[in-house]
């Protein structure tokens, strides 16, 4: 603090620092320290109980040829690529609908938000049954549709055994994850309500249709919100764990189709007690998410519009 | 108060509260002067109550020690973390299959010295139970209640299919012959009921080789997933999609309800024969229809001369390394091993006794009329224990996936076995080599204790 800082300013700075100190302490002890120590542990053979033994890059060497690691990474990317756009588009679509001035819109907003309040474990159990190939609600709806199609076209279609068939397991999980879209919807709604009416009026005077207004007014103005939700769902989808873990009763899905990176980290760390190895996987996942986030920031720089700038 | 002092006071208050929660954990002496021994158990439900009753009896029987009983879920994980954190309980009830990993990581106290000073020892127990407690030539635990796996069959379904309800299959060939007779298809070609399905419930995916006359580990440095027995077991599983169709099996498997519920496919008459253990008696009483009729016999084997082979497992009690009161803990565990206490526990937990000698009226007093079948399986010369392989969890997980691949017709039996072999051998070699490096140090540590 320079000589120009007055006594009262100094007091304010100290008070400010004290106010944020619980967060800073939390960050240092609960985030930064584990991050740094897991980076170190990834270079060791560590079974949690015995002291870690330094083995250099050995864990990473094994990872390079670990088929299950690559499969878990592939599954994670597959899920992210499938779920992020679907969830974002659905959330924007719902938010736009809920932004219309309808009677009872508050009730609708509540209804669409409610599922995201359901705890992950309950969601896993619930969707395990929703997606059941024989008695699940999804297939109860699909059966008559398949029957009708079969009758008309003479095909032999049947709804899939979602969670027993590797070809459909991830699609089933994406379907389940759409249930948690309510959070993003609320954030989009807040963004939508921030779009100045004057812009719509001006666009209206220029003869813009609803679609043109959406593309040229709404989306650019809410672009920071889209960016935020995009990054959050990117991080979220790379951390996917609880729902598939519960859905498969702690397993890895048919043909390991629901073995995600986070599942693999958990299994290695807490089932095989190879914590050093698990840390190496975690660190790689961290680098990937960091890289993707930076890439997204770079790519979206030209497209994200901040009113304050 | 100024904002600054408000914040300072709050922070001090939080700090004081935090410090208050950190007590002195090591020396727990109760107000009445008794030493408190903390005991973590995995059980819930009636098994927990049974043990709690015995703990209460122990606490009444003397005035030196008070055993505090705590039911803990996922006990293997929590015990490992608590021990690593230096704050383990004094006694913990885990599964015998946890012992190799816990012992090799130095998480347990060897009991050899304490045992040599007591009257307890190998001579008092069923050999198949005792074998499980010994890893690296040291004894790590004493048993609680054991179990074996047997064939459970639905007599009503046998009768309906024209089979003798009192003649269970004795060989795998016979099992499959019965299976074909018992399996029913609906109008749409979907399976309605089956005689047997290896993945129902599929809890012993890594153990099928037992009934095919072999094992999956040579006891030293070689994993033997491609042993004749394990490949034969996978080939047997391969015959299911061949005979019944992979897609219809997938559909049928989806109908398996929650195990501990009336939806259990065995209770609902959807699967006529399952591999299960003595706990089934309790679940059948609670969830099966009142007129449910079933029998228990050894599970069929590939060779009839091996009939009676089975997997023996046991719940066991250990003293974690770093426990505050190991002597008091051992006293409590030894008290439980006395015939009177052990039989009371086995009767209440619906298990057979791990002790060699059983009191005359034990079987008369036992609620389960089939209990002697499970016990005979544990006494059988072919009774096997889980391979004491430190990578067993990984192996088992890999076998679950291999069986799933074979069941869905995505992989041939031999191919699946080879894949498991390759991966698991590499994994095991790595752990084994790491163990060899620290072996001498560990053994020395144990000898000093």
| ipTM field | 0.84
Chain A, 225-254: which have a CB under 8 Å from a chain B CB?
Answer: 251-252, 254
Average pLDDT over residues A146-160: 86
CB-CB under 8 Å, B391 with A49: no
B409 contacts chain A (CB < 8 A): no
What pLDDT is stored for residue A24 in this prediction? 93
Say if residue A134's pLDDT is above 90: no
pLDDT of residue A308: 66
Q: State residue B425 phi and psi, 5-degree precision.
A: -65, -45
Would the CB atoms of B401 and A256 count as touching at under 8 Å?
yes
Q: How far apart are CA A282 and CA A38, in angstroms?
A: 8
Q: Given CA atoms B205, B210, B213, B214 in this order, what sign does their dihedral have?
A: positive
Q: Residue A74 belongs to what H/E stretch?
A: helix A67-98
Q: Considering chain A, what percentage of its residues have pLDDT values greater than 70? A: 98
Distance (Å, whole) CA A249 – CA B217: 27
Shortest alpha-carbon distance between residue B101 and chain A (Å): 9
Longest dimension (CA), chain A: 87
- At A2, list the tokens: 């320079």
Q: Sign of the C-alpha dihedral, residues B287, B288, B294, B297?
A: negative
Q: What is the pLDDT of residue B1?
A: 56
Residues of B in Cβ contact (< 8 Å) with A67: 423
Query: What pLDDT does B18 receive?
Result: 66
Q: CB contact, 8 Å: B391 with chain A?
A: yes
- Which stretches of chain B score pLDDT less than 70? 1-8, 11, 17-28, 449
How many residues belong to chain A? 309
Q: Does B404 touch chain A (CB under 8 A)?
A: yes
Evaluate if residue A54 carries a pLDDT over 80. yes
Token duo for residue B119: 């009257």
Separation in Å, CA of B191 to nearest CA in chain A: 11
Residue A225 Rama label (left phi>0; alpha psi -120 to 50; beta): alpha
* pLDDT value, residue A6: 86
E strands, B2-141, are 35-41, 65-71, 91-95, 134-135, 138-139
Q: Report CB contact under 8 Å: A163, B254.
A: yes
The residue of chain A with its CA nearest to that of B403 is A255
DSSP B325-375: -HHHHHHHHHHHHSHHHHHHHHHHTT---SBS---TTHHHH-S-TTHHHHH
Q: What is the pLDDT of residue B363?
A: 94
What confidence score (pLDDT) does residue B256 get?
74
Inter-chain touch A133–B254, beta carbons under 8 Å: yes
Q: Does B268 touch chain A (CB under 8 A)?
A: no
Pure H helices in B72-171: 75-84, 99-104, 112-116, 127-133, 155-160
B255 with A134: Cβ contact below 8 A: yes
Share of chain A above pLDDT 90, in %: 53
The predicted structure's pLDDT at residue A2: 54
Given a contact cutoff of 8 angstroms between Cβ atoms, the answer to whether A44 and A276 are in contact is yes
Chain A contacts in chain B segment 322-341 (CB below 8 A): none
> Would you state the structure tokens that stand for residue B163, as one six-digit string?
């089979």
- Do A62 and A247 contact (CB within 8 A), yes or no? no
Query: When comparing pLDDT for A4 and B165, which is higher?
Result: B165
What's the confidence (pLDDT) of residue B21?
60
| Inter-residue contact B152 to B280 (CB < 8 Å) | yes
Average pLDDT over residues A201-211: 90
Contact B105/A165, CB-based, under 8 Å?
no
- How much is the pLDDT for B409? 92
């Amino acid at each position: 603090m320079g000589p120009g800082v007055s006594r009262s300013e100094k007091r304010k700075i100290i008070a400010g620092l004290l106010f944020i100190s619980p967060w800073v302490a939390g960050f240092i002890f609960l985030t930064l320290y584990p991050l740094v120590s897991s980076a170190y542990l990834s270079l060791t053979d560590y079974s949690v109980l015995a002291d870690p033994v330094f083995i250099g890059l050995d864990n990473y060497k094994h990872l390079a040829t670990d088929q299950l690691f690559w499969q878990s990474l592939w599954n994670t990317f597959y899920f992210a690529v499938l779920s992020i756009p679907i969830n974002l588009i659905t959330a924007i679509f719902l938010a736009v609908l809920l932004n219309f001035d309808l009677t009872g819109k508050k009730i609708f907003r509540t209804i669409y938000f409610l599922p995201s309040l359901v705890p992950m474990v309950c969601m896993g159990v619930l969707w395990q049954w929703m997606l059941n190939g024989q008695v699940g609600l999804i297939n109860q709806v699909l059966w008559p549709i398949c029957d009708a199609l079969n009758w008309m076209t003479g095909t032999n279609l049947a709804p899939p055994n979602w969670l027993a068939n590797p070809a459909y397991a991830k699609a089933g999980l994406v379907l389940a994850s759409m249930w948690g879209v309510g959070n993003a919807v609320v954030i989009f709604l807040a963004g939508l309500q921030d779009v100045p009416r004057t812009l719509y009026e001006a666009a209206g005077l220029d003869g813009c249709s609803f679609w043109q207004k959406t593309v040229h007014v709404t989306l650019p103005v809410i672009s920071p919100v889209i960016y935020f939700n995009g990054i959050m769902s990117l991080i979220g989808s790379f951390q996917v764990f609880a729902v598939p873990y519960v859905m498969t009763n702690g397993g890895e899905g048919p043909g390991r189709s629901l073995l995600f990176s986070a599942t693999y980290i958990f299994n290695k760390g807490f089932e095989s007690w190879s914590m050093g190895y698990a840390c190496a996987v975690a660190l790689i996942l961290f680098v990937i998410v960091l890289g993707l986030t930076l890439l997204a920031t770079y790519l979206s720089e030209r497209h994200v519009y901040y009113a304050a700038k | 108060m100024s904002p600054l002092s408000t914040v300072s006071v709050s922070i001090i208050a939080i700090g004081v509260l935090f410090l208050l929660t950190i007590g002195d954990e090591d020396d727990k002496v109760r107000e009445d002067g008794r030493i408190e021994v903390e005991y973590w158990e995995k059980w819930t439900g009636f098994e927990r109550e049974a043990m709690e009753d015995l703990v209460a009896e122990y606490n009444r029987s003397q005035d030196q020690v008070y055993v505090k009983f705590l039911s803990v879920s996922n006990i293997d994980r929590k015990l490992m973390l608590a021990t690593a954190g230096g704050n383990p309980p004094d006694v913990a009830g885990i599964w015998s299959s946890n012992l190799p990993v816990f012992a090799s990581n130095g998480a347990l106290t060897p009991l050899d010295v304490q045992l040599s000073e007591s009257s307890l020892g190998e001579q008092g127990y069923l050999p198949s139970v005792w074998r499980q407690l010994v890893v690296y030539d040291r004894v790590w635990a004493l048993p609680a209640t054991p179990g074996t796996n047997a064939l459970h069959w639905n007599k009503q379904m046998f009768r309906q299919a024209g089979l003798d309800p009192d003649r269970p299959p004795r060989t795998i060939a016979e099992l499959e012959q019965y299976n074909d007779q018992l399996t029913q298809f609906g109008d749409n070609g979907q399976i309605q009921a089956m005689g047997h399905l290896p993945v129902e419930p599929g809890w012993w995916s890594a153990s099928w080789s037992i009934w095919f006359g072999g094992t999956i580990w040579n006891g030293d440095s070689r994993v033997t997933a491609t042993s004749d027995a394990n490949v034969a077991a996978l080939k047997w599983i391969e015959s299911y999609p061949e005979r019944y169709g992979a897609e219809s099996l997938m559909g049928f498997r989806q109908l398996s309800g929650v195990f501990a519920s009336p939806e259990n496919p065995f209770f609902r008459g959807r699967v006529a024969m399952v591999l299960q253990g003595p706990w089934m008696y309790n679940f059948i009483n609670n969830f099966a229809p009142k007129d449910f009729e079933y029998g228990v016999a050894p599970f069929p084997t590939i060779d009839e001369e091996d009939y009676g082979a089975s997997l023996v497992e046991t719940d066991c009690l250990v003293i974690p390394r770093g426990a505050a009161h190991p002597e008091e803990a051992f006293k409590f565990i030894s008290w439980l091993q006395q015939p009177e206490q052990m039989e009371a526990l086995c009767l209440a937990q619906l298990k057979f006794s791990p002790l060699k000698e059983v009191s005359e009226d034990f079987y008369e007093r036992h609620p389960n009329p089939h209990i002697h079948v499970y016990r005979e399986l544990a006494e059988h010369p072919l009774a096997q224990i889980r391979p004491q392989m430190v990578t067993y969890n990984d192996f088992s997980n890999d076998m679950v996936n291999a069986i799933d691949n074979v069941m869905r017709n995505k992989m041939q039996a031999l191919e699946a076995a080879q894949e498991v072999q390759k991966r698991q051998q590499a994994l095991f070699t790595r752990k084994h080599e790491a163990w060899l490096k620290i072996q001498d140090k560990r053994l020395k540590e144990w000898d000093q204790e």
